[in-house]
Structure 1
Amino acid sequence: MEEGKINYVSREYKRDFYSPPLPQTFWLDHGKGFTKEQAANLIQGRSVYREDLLSREGTPYKAWMQLDTEKERDRNNNLTFRQFTDAYGYDVKAILDDYKIKEMIDPKKAEALETSLLNGHRPLVTVEKDGQEAKMYIETAVRYGKLNFYREDGKPEKREQFQKETGLEMGEAFAKKQEQSREKDVAQGQGIGV
Structure 2
Amino acid sequence: MNQKNLEYLQEQVKYTGFGEGLNDEIRTKIEAGEEKFIVLHEAEFGKDKVDAVLFFSKSKESDMYFFNKYDMALAKEGETEKLAQTFYINKGNNITLKEAYNLMEGRAVNKNLTSAGGELYNSWLQLDFKQADDRGNFKLRHFNEKFGYDLEAALAKHPIKELSDESHKKDLMASLKKGNLQSVTLVRDGAEKKHFIEATPQYKSITIYDENRQRLDSRKAKSEKQAEDSGQSAKNESKKQAVPDDESGPAAKKTRSSKKKGQGV
State if a TM-score over 0.5 links the two structures.
yes
Stretch deviating more after TM superposition (26-35 or 119-128): 26-35
Partner Cα distance (1:25, 1:85) in 2: 22
Query: Once the two structures are superposed, what CA deviation does each residue of 1:151-181 show, in whole Å capped at 9, x if it has no partner?
Result: 1212112444675999xx79xx9xxxxxxxx
Q: What is aligned with 1:182?
A: none
Select between 150-159 and 82-91 the one with higher mean Cα deviation.
150-159
Larger relative contact order (CA 8 Å, sep ≥ 6)? 1
**Do the aligned partners of 1:129 and 1:162 also contact (CA within 8 Å) in 2?**
no
The 10-residue stretch of structure 1 (103-112 or 89-98) with the greater mean CA deviation from structure 2: 89-98
2:122 aligned with 1:62: yes
TM value normalised by structure 2 = 0.53
Aligned with 2:207: secondary structure?
strand
Please name the residue that 2:90 is paired with. Answer: 29
Structure 2 residue corresponding to 1:100, chosen from 151, 154, 159: 159
- Aligned: 1:17 with 2:72: no
Range with greater deviation from structure 2 (56-65 or 129-138): 129-138
SS in 1 for 2:126: strand
Bigger Rg, structure 1 or 2: 2
1:141 aligned partner, one-letter code: T
5 Å-filtered alignment, 1:1-194, equals: 16-19=76-79, 20-30=81-91, 32-51=93-112, 53-71=113-131, 73-129=132-188, 132-158=191-217, 159-160=221-222
Structure with more helix by fraction: 1
Q: Is the 8 A contact 2:47 2:77 kept in 1?
A: no
Unaligned runs of 5+ in 2: 1-45, 49-74, 234-265
Q: Distance in 1 between matches of 2:121 and 2:227?
A: 34
Percent identity over paired residues: 31
Give me the CA root mean square deviation.
3.0
CA 1:41–1:164 in structure 2 vs 1: closer, same or farther (change >3 Å)?
A: farther
Structure 1 residue 141: Cα displacement: 1.2
More strand as a share of residues: 2
Preserved contact between residue 140 and residue 146 of structure 1 (Cα < 8 Å): yes
CA contact (8 A) 1:95 1:147 kept: yes
Match of residue 245 from structure 2: none
Gaps of 5+ in 1: 1-10, 174-194
